[in-house]
Amino acid sequence: MISLKGFIRRFLSDPVAIAAGFVLLLLILMAVLAPLIAPQNPYDLMQLDIMDSEMPPVWREGGDPRFLLGTDAQGRGVLSTIMYGTGISLMIGIGAVIVQGVLGTTLGLIAGYKGGWIDAFLMRLADIQMSLSTLMIAIIVLAIFQAGFDANTYADYAIIMLIFIIGIAEWPKFARTVRSSVLGEKNKEYVDAARVIGLPARKIMVTHILPNTLTPVLVISTIQVAEAIMTEAALSFLGLGMPTDRPSLGSLIRSGFEFIFSGSWWITLYPAIVLVVLILALNLLGDWLRDVLNPKLRRGDD
Amino acid sequence: MHIIAFLIRRAVQAVIVMFVISLIGFSIQDNLGDPLRELVGQSVSEEVRNEMRQEMGLNDPFLVQYSRFIGKAVQGDLGTSYFFKRPALDVIMDKFPATFELVLGAVFIFLSLSIPAGIYCAIHRDSWLTRIIMSFSILGISIPVFLTAIGMVWLFGVELGWLPAFGRGQTVELPWGWDTGFLTWEGIRHLILPSIALSSIMLPLFIRLIRAEMMEAMGTDYVRFARAKGLPERRVRYVHAFRNTLLPVVTVGGLMVGTLIAYTILTETVFQWPGMGFMFLEAVNRVDTPLIIAYIIVVGLIFVVVNTLVDFLYTLINPMVKLPGAKA
């Protein structure tokens, strides 16, 4: 581990990290402040006018100064939907990683500390789940939900469901990381000492071992947020994620895709750029964090 | 003996996975929509309904119903699609060739690109081409596949108009009922964009993997020894070193099967490719429960079979590998 001061110094000496951090901060601010700064509220049907639909960006012929990046088929300003959509994508990405982190860390701690059949069972489960792939599990579960509930119920619970499905599907990554650090820690003297003075297993796991496994958890979290946002975008693009009236970046791309053939490329292009920039910034920050905090940890077989 | 113990273990795992999948399939069978309503509509009286429920065995205990479901499934009867009014398995088998040929095209592209590129990058570490390939592969990891696909549709299909961007084109039916697009020029032209798009998930990952493994192999003692013996450099590189990169490639390839199936759904959606994945999403929108169940079961079966084969292949390539669970 390095000190906070050293950490900040490393950050300020790396132009890539500064750029990625700056872009990420900008996107987060844009998403959080969307209700205040967006030129239009895309959820408010009163503000939408079908006459405004499919307008090109303002610098093209036929553009309207009210809509900087043009409008989509429902007359929503592309810039405003991107601002709100980035927020939804970030919320799902961060929420899913919190679920993954809590679930994965708990199960990883138990598997590593207890060992034996619990460990064998959990790791076998993790293997099978990983090879089924997150996206496949999520597609099937969401397909069943969507077929089972009517569209309105589905739309109400879409965010929560996406958070939990992506969270539960990805727990093995955290569990494996935590388990391997626990295996490294559990035979050290301080753990033996804690055991000798008769502390219960739960207390040893939580107050003694857990703090020493948190660095790698922090490192993979950043990259996992990027992965979760990518998964959510793919699901929404398939029509299994966020509904088009509360769009994430993925559902914006989905609703724009139909209009690529008629030449309205801006409905797809701008959300796509924001999505790629967001993922790239998170990935670059994640890679940087890994190099600084734990040079031995490599981004493995994902 | 190890091989047998290993095969039994694999078989047990395969059975467990299929059991869970069949349970999921069975439990959604009656809960998604009402099978009676699909059959007779709303107009039938409650009494007749109850009689029919009894007759169809919908009131039987869980285990009886489940074993009936499994019995039928084993014989290939996965129900009748509500939309197509045909056995669900037949519908899927009609769509299977399209998906299979798409995957074949993608695998062909990514093998013929990733192996030479990976080897090249490992041998010429500092050349400008290596830098280009490596930065392309880092960028490739950050761009979601459906965006690559959309970009290709827009650029080559709409703007430049070089290649068709949707559908399969003209297909030829082979004697055993397999619709192939490989035999017509149009069919192959239609295959190009979707298979490049599908291969683009695997490509960056495999280039990096082959490069890393090859670099490691080039530094080992037996490669140095082979050189010291005076073997020609070509032989050292492609026989001694490259062989040893195959193992990890096969392992990771096996782990990617699930991902690959998931991405066929995405690719088929973007390119309107008439395969199983596209059909599955349509079935979800139509709440065509038997077709949804049939797709899940068929995909589960493909997954289990391919995974078992990959594991088996692994033991064939490397007889030294200690099989999991076998005593040394």
User: Is residue B2 packed enough to be buried (19+ CB in 10 Å), middle (13-18) or exposed (0-12)?
Assistant: middle
**Per-residue pLDDT at A89:** 92
Which of A98-102, A129-133, A242-246, B177-181 shows the lowest mean pLDDT across its residues?
B177-181
SS3 of chain B: helix, strand, coil, percent, to 5? 75, 0, 25
- A18: its two tokens: 């500064």
A contact residues 52-81, partner B, Cβ 8 Å cutoff = none
State the smallest CA–CA distance between residue A2 and chain B in angstroms: 28
A265 in contact with B, Cβ within 8 Å = yes
Please check the confidence at residue B94 and state whether its pLDDT lies above 60.
yes
Which of the pair, B178 or A92, is modelled with greater confidence? Answer: A92
Question: From CA B104, how far away is CA B114, in angstroms rounded?
Answer: 15
Which residues in chain B have their CB less than 8 angstroms from residue A143's CB?
280-281, 284, 292
**Per-residue pLDDT at B42:** 62
**Sequence-distant contacts of B277-285: CB under 8 A, at least 24 apart:** B277/B99, B278/B95, B279/B91, B279/B92, B279/B95, B280/A143, B281/A143, B281/A238, B281/A239, B281/A240, B283/B81, B283/B83, B284/A143, B284/A146, B284/A147, B284/A240, B285/A239
**Per-residue pLDDT at B148:** 86
* Cβ-defined contact of B150 to A275 (cutoff 8 Å): no
B13 in contact with A, Cβ within 8 Å = yes
- Average pLDDT of A234-241? 89
Which residues in chain A have their CB less than 8 angstroms from residue B141's CB?
283
Which residue in chain A has the smallest CA separation from B204?
Answer: A302
Query: Which residues are paired to B180 by β-bridges?
Result: B172
Please check the confidence at residue A258 and state whether its pLDDT lies above 50.
yes
Q: Give B210-231 pLDDT, tens digit per residue.
A: 888 888 888 788 888 888 888 8
Question: Domains along chain A?
Answer: 31-38+70-297 (1.10.3720.10)
Which residues in chain B have their CB less than 8 angstroms from residue A257's CB?
150, 270
Q: Give A66-85 pLDDT, tens digit per residue.
A: 666 777 777 777 888 888 88
**Per-residue pLDDT at A28:** 92
Mean predicted lDDT score pLDDT of chain B:
79
**Per-residue pLDDT at B230:** 82
State the smallest CA–CA distance between residue A90 and chain B in angstroms: 16
Q: pLDDT band for position B287 (50/70/90)? A: confident
- B150 vs A226, A257, A279: nearest CB: A257
* Cβ-defined contact of B144 to A280 (cutoff 8 Å): no
Question: From CA A103, how far away is CA A170, in angstroms rounded?
Answer: 9
**Per-residue pLDDT at A251:** 87
Mean predicted lDDT score pLDDT of chain A:
83
* Cβ-defined contact of A131 to B158 (cutoff 8 Å): no
**Per-residue pLDDT at A297:** 46
Q: Which amino acid is at A63?
A: G
* Cβ-defined contact of A147 to B287 (cutoff 8 Å): yes
Please check the confidence at residue A138 and state whether its pLDDT lies above 50.
yes
Q: Give A51-65 pLDDT, tens digit per residue.
A: 666 677 766 676 666
Q: Which residue has the tokens 């050292």?
A: B236
Please state the ipTM of this predicted complex: 0.80
- Average pLDDT of B147-159? 83
Percent of chain B past pLDDT 70, that is, above it, reads 88
A279 in contact with B, Cβ within 8 Å = yes
State the smallest CA–CA distance between residue B71 and chain A in angstroms: 23
**Per-residue pLDDT at A106:** 92
Which residues in chain A have their CB less than 8 angstroms from residue B140's CB?
none
Backbone angles phi and psi of B40, in degrees to 5: -115, -5
- B265 vs A130, A139, A265: nearest CB: A139
Give the closest residue to A97 by CA, choosing from A160, A164, A26, A161. Answer: A164
Please check the confidence at residue B326 and state whether its pLDDT lies above 60.
no
End-to-end CA distance of chain A: 25
* Cβ-defined contact of B150 to A230 (cutoff 8 Å): no
Neighbours of B181 (CB within 10 A): 22
**Per-residue pLDDT at B328:** 38
A contact residues 216-255, partner B, Cβ 8 Å cutoff = 226, 230, 233-234, 237-240, 253
**Per-residue pLDDT at B31:** 62
Percent of chain A past pLDDT 70, that is, above it, reads 89
State the smallest CA–CA distance between residue A195 and chain B in angstroms: 31
Please check the confidence at residue A302 and state whether its pLDDT lies above 50.
no
B contact residues 240-269, partner A, Cβ 8 Å cutoff = 252, 254-259, 261-263, 265-266, 269
Which of A43-47, B88-92, B183-187 shows the lowest mean pLDDT across its residues?
A43-47
* Cβ-defined contact of A132 to B31 (cutoff 8 Å): no
Q: pLDDT band for position A233 (50/70/90)? A: very high
A16 in contact with B, Cβ within 8 Å = no
- Average pLDDT of B145-152? 86
Q: Give B9-66 pLDDT, tens digit per residue.
A: 778 878 888 888 888 888 777 665 566 665 666 666 777 777 777 766 666 777 777 7
Q: Give A180-228 pLDDT, tens digit per residue.
A: 888 888 888 888 888 888 888 888 888 888 888 888 888 889 889 999 9
* Candidate ranges A36-45, B22-31, B268-277; pick with highest mean pLDDT: B268-277
State the smallest CA–CA distance between residue B231 and chain A in angstroms: 34
The SS3 of residue A182 is helix
Helices vs strands, H then E, count in chain B: 14, 2
Q: Which residue has the tokens 């639909």?
A: A53
Which of the pair, B72 or A94, is modelled with greater confidence? Answer: A94
Percent of chain B past pLDDT 90, that is, above it, reads 2
* Cβ-defined contact of A128 to B17 (cutoff 8 Å): yes
Q: pLDDT band for position A299 (50/70/90)? A: very low
SS3 of chain A: helix, strand, coil, percent, to 5? 75, 0, 25
Which residues in chain B have their CB less than 8 angstroms from residue A233's CB?
144, 146
**Per-residue pLDDT at B228:** 85
**Per-residue pLDDT at A292:** 79
B144 in contact with A, Cβ within 8 Å = yes
Which residues in chain B have their CB less than 8 angstroms from residue A280's CB?
139, 142
**Per-residue pLDDT at B323:** 47
What b/e string do you get for A13-37 counting C-beta neighbours within 10 Å, with b at 16 or more? ebeebeebbebbeebeebbeebeee
